[in-house]
Amino acid sequence: MVTVTFRDETATGKPRAEFALPDLPESISTRELVRLRVREEAARHNAAPSHHFRGLVKPTDAETELNSYRMRTARRLDGEQQADATEAAFARNGFLLLVGDRPIEDLDTEIDLIADPVVSFVKLVPLAGG
């Protein structure tokens, strides 16, 4: 079993947030790894629901704020719904996924977590006016 570090970064490589998950398998598909990460962040939010959510994708009915999302009411999130939204965001290039320094372009790619235990998520922000 492997401990994996999930890191959120800006487009310039500046770290924004990071957390580790222990006891993951040595090899996993990108799809399962992404879904696992998003379900974990939803579970962490649900342990103490608030108006703010600092996660990879925006929950339904939330507004984007600097480095987070604001929900109208403090509520629990559906981890599976968040995971589905994350897959859709990946498909439309809403974020880049780097394993080690290698970009991942397909959710069906198998990842060797022993060789690369750091997974970086880089949110891509659309340019204003263009």
Q: How far apart are CA 42 and CA 76, in angstroms?
A: 8
Q: How many CB atoms lie within 10 A of CB 86?
A: 24
60 DSSP 8-state letter: T
The pLDDT tens digits for 14-67 are 888 899 999 999 999 999 999 999 999 999 999 999 999 989 999 988 998 887
The pLDDT tens digits for 85-109 are 999 999 999 899 999 889 999 999 9
Looking up tokens 């996993």, which residue turns up?
28
Read off the pTM. Answer: 0.88
Beta-ladder partners of 60: none
Q: How far is CA 9 from the centre of its chain?
A: 11
> Checking DSSP bridges between strand 95-99 and strand 118-123, what pairing results, if any?
antiparallel
Mean residue pLDDT across the chain: 91
Q: How far apart are CA 75 and CA 8, in angstroms?
A: 23
